């Protein structure tokens, strides 16, 4: 989707040290430690230098994709410390572009748009080996590619001949219609695909509402919603290679929404940072979730990380200067990308890199002290 719409197998000891580090922050109750360094991913040259957002990071951390805002927008790829404008498809879809997904092979997907005055719509693209390929449509005017797995399978949305929008999978040179939960007359869009070919997104149902779905083995399954009051509609935004799914579920008329985790047939409410709303945007194979939520009394969202049953504001885990508004993707190295406001006050895309963990012995001491502070004092004779 367009910018305006926006979402490693570490050694055992390293994974659990990272979890312990967050536990120290949670249990200690004091000001959180600095656990991430922040990298400003920069801006493209004018006229694409108004604002920028990172949409996705690949599993090995070698490529980040996003979109620079302004009029027009531009898809970009960040690799080896530099930002590259990916350009557009040939005319007539050469007005602007948006970058949405990237895989471990550095292949990027997104959409490229015709001049809006021409009313010709937009087409999904695959960028690979320095060239951009038009993926076409399902017979209608428009298409958008949102995600690509390491086998080159691509998912997104496209209009069909009737003008309805349907989820698609593009594989082996052809685009296939995934239909909807409510039949061909409904609408749907796919947001993510994992390396097992499982697809998630949102679809209209026969009852007329929109629900998150999981598509696999030729079948689209309705994931339902969270319990009341967040049981009006839902949408799935990401799926990891273990089949864990994240997204959001809303109240009536989508006035408020909560982030969810779907696992073993159960939707779990992840809560918020204290405000009314939260949306989960990404999940890695370790089950660590990122997204955005509004803190209590604050209307602008903050980026969050959810692990070990706790949602933590990522702004509390970095040094001063930045305001992180949304975390859109996390890989298995624990690297996180999204957008926020940099120390200069400009809207900017960021990369969060976990800092080296403290030694295991130091962590045990800190956690032990934190637990002692929390333990009730009992008298002895």
Rounded Cα distance between 377 and 98, Å, is: 58
Q: What CATH class has 3-371?
A: mainly beta
**Confidence category of residue 33, pLDDT binned at 50, 70, 90:** confident
- Beta-carbon neighbour count of residue 17 at 10 Å? 18
**Angle, CA of 287, 342 and 98, to the nearest 5°:** 65
pLDDT of residue 46: 84
Task: Pull the structure tokens for residue 213.
Answer: 């779905």
Q: Which two tokens stand for residue 148?
A: 């690509």
**pLDDT range class, residue 368, cuts 50, 70, 90:** low
C-alpha span between 156 and 137 (Å, rounded):
10
DSSP 290-357: EEEEEETT--S-EEEEEETTEEEEGGGGS-TT-EEEEEEEE-TT--EEEEEE-TTS-EEEEEEEEPPP
Identify the helix (H) or strand (E) that includes residue 204: strand 199-204
pLDDT at 279: 98
pLDDT at 253: 79
pTM of the model: 0.86
- Rounded Cα distance between 145 and 1, Å, is 8
Where does the pLDDT of residue 31 fall: very low under 50, low under 70, confident under 90, or very high at 90 and above?
very low
Query: Residue 69: what pLDDT?
Result: 84
Q: What is the SS3 assignment for 20? A: helix
Q: Give me the mean pLDDT over the 243-267 stretch.
A: 94
Rounded mean pLDDT, 312-327: 97
Give the pLDDT score at 5. Answer: 40
> What's the token pair of residue 258?
């909560």
Q: Which helix (H) or strand (E) holds 367?
A: helix 360-374
What are the tens digits of pLDDT across the range 74-90?
999 999 999 999 999 99
Q: Whose CA is closest to 86, among 51, 55, 125? A: 125
Q: Write down the domain spans for the chain.
A: 3-371
Secondary structure (DSSP) of 120-155: --EEEEEEETTEEEE---BEEEEEEEEEE-TT--EE
Q: What does the pLDDT look like over 13-27, one tens digit per residue?
A: 333 334 444 444 433
The predicted structure's pLDDT at residue 115: 87
Cα separations in angstroms, 175 against 143, 153, 154, 219 = 10, 10, 9, 17
Q: Summarize pLDDT for 121-161 with one digit per residue, the tens.
A: 999 999 999 999 999 999 999 999 999 999 999 999 999 99
**DSSP secondary-structure letter at 116?**
G
- Residues 155-207: pLDDT tens digits? 999 999 999 999 999 999 999 999 999 988 899 999 999 999 999 999 999 99
**What is the pLDDT at residue 233?**
96
* β-sheet bridge partners, residue 292: 279, 303
> What's the pLDDT score for residue 13?
36
Specify whether the CB–CB gap between 184 and 163 falls below 8 A: no
């Amino acid at each position: 989707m367009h910018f305006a719409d926006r979402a490693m197998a570490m050694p055992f000891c390293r994974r659990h040290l990272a979890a312990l580090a967050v536990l120290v922050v949670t249990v200690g109750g004091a000001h959180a430690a600095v656990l991430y360094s922040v990298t400003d991913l920069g801006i493209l040259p004018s006229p694409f230098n108004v604002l920028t957002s990172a949409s996705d990071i690949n599993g090995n951390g070698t490529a980040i994709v996003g979109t620079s805002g302004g009029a027009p927008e531009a898809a970009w790829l960040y690799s080896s410390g530099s930002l590259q404008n990916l350009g557009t498809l040939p005319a007539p879809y050469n007005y602007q572009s948006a970058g949405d997904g990237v895989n471990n092979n550095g292949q990027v997907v997104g959409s490229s748009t015709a001049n809006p005055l021409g009313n010709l719509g937009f087409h999904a693209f695959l960028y690979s080996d320095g060239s951009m390929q038009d993926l076409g449509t399902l017979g209608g005017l428009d298409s958008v590619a949102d995600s690509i797995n390491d086998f080159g399978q691509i998912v997104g949305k496209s209009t069909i001949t009737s003008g309805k929008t349907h989820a698609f999978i593009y594989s082996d040179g052809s685009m296939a219609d995934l239909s909807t939960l409510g039949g061909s007359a409904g609408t749907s869009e796919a947001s993510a695909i994992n390396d097992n070919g499982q697809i998630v997104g949102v679809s209209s149902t026969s009852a007329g509402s929109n629900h998150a779905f999981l598509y696999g083995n030729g079948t689209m399954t309705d994931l339902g919603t969270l319990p009341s009051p967040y049981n009006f509609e839902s949408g799935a935004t990401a799926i990891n290679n273990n089949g864990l799914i994240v997204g959001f579920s809303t109240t009536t008329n989508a006035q408020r929404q909560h982030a969810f985790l779907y696992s073993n047939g159960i939707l779990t409410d992840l809560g918020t940072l204290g405000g009314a709303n939260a949306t989960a945007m990404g999940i890695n194979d370790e089950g660590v979730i990122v997204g955005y939520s509004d803190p209590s009394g604050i209307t602008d969202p903050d980026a969050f990380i959810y692990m070990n049953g706790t949602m933590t504001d990522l702004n509390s885990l970095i040094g001063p200067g930045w305001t992180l508004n949304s975390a859109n993707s996390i890989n298995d190295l624990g690297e996180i990308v999204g957008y926020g406001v940099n120390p200069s006050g400009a809207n900017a895309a960021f990369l969060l890199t976990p800092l080296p963990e403290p030694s295991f012995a130091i962590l045990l001491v800190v956690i032990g002290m934190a637990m002692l502070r929390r333990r009730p004092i009992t008298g002895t004779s």
